[in-house]
Amino acid sequence: MESKMMTFQAAAAEGVAQEMRRDPTVYCAGEEVSAHGQAYGVSGQGVFEEFGEKRVRNTPIIETAIVGHAVGAAAVGLRPVVELMFMDFLGICMDELANQAAKMHYMFAGQYKAPMVLRVSSGAVRPAGAHHSQSLEAWAAHVPGLKIVAPSTAADAKGLMITSIRDDNPVVFIEHRALLSVEGEVPAGDYTVPLGKARVTREGSDVTLVAWSAMVPTCLEAAGELAAEGIDAEVIDLRSLIPLDKEAILSSVAKTGKLVIAHEATRTNGFGAEIAAMVADEGFDLLKSPIRRVTAPDIPVPCSPALLKHFVPNAQKIRAAVITIS
């Protein structure tokens, strides 16, 4: 399959544009999507020129309206791809997302469905303060009926985007701002990545590192440091949290006997706790040592650049966690 170098940002946008060409029911909407491709350019340049205002819709800065209209559109047969500039504003539209989109198929006994994608940006990339820097995937993962996707590479950004748009369920698609400009080889054409299928990004035999989104390259960096010390770490990129690839996690832990989970979200009730509980429930006998979590502390995201460096987990913290169980 042919491929080309693209940024994460451009690859996700290409996935949306390809689906819009293939399926006339797909459209995108959000704040400034027609003029600028959204604040982070995630909708891509030239999309408005190609598809026009009927399929690239600017919205008011009202998250309830953005998500609420998408639920209605999805219910009558369209496939909206809508955007929130910041995942931090998920709470504003949580009723529309959690009580309408997520429950529609169940509450109407299959007569209606909500095939929509909600694109959200996350992550403490720069000193943006506590209102614009959070990783809130655990909020959405707690709601039955939602699928949660968090790619770490440009190729997965495209492949998972296309799969998410084609899915008949509502999907929360998380795009970490630190990854938007990162380049990678992206397959051309109709390229899809299945939801619920993790990827082993580095094979190893001594310890399993599980992560998603921007923590995957951080874990790979930590694995490189550990290799210099004679510790062979396996790195698993979950790619989607819901559905969760339990088999990939348990198979790796069966091989290594040790598990470290890394995520940028705060510690208490973060999604890493769910992974740890799952392994304890279904694979306790596989473990040779306690499970370790490397997370942000339970505080609001600081604005100070110096404090932010301590807030976000790094390779050194992951390495230190591995050393404690090695």
206-259 per-position pLDDT tens digit? 999 999 999 999 999 999 999 999 999 999 999 999 999 999 999 999 999 999
Asked whether 28 and 43 are in contact (CB, 8 A), the reply is: yes
Give me the pLDDT at residue 44, please: 64
Instruction: Give, in degrees to the nearest 5, the angle at Cα 259 between 255 and 265.
Output: 145
Average pLDDT over residues 162-177: 98
Tokens read off for 19 = 């689906």
Q: Edge-to-edge, what's the strand order for the sheet holding 26-30?
A: 56-58, 26-30, 79-84, 117-122, 171-176, 147-149, 240-242
pLDDT tens track for 108-126: 999 999 999 999 999 998 8
- Residue tagged active-site, from 105, 132, 176, 263: 132
Instruction: Give, in degrees to the nearest 5, the angle at Cα 299 between 97 and 268.
Output: 65
Residue 38 confidence (pLDDT) above 60 = no
Residue 132 annotated in active site: yes
What is the phi/psi pair of residue 190, to 5°?
Answer: -80, 85
Buried residues in 123-160 as b, exposed as e (16+ CB within 10 A) = bbbeebeeebbbbbbbbbbebebbbbbbbbbbbbbbbb
Give me the pLDDT at residue 37, please: 53
The whole-angstrom separation of Cα 311 and Cα 134 is 11
Average pLDDT over residues 297-322: 96
pTM over 0.85: yes
Residues facing 266 on adjacent strands: 296
The whole-angstrom separation of Cα 67 and Cα 92 is 10
Q: Which domains does the chain have, with CATH numbers?
A: 3-187 (3.40.50.970), 199-324 (3.40.50.920)
**First vs last C-alpha separation in the chain:** 41
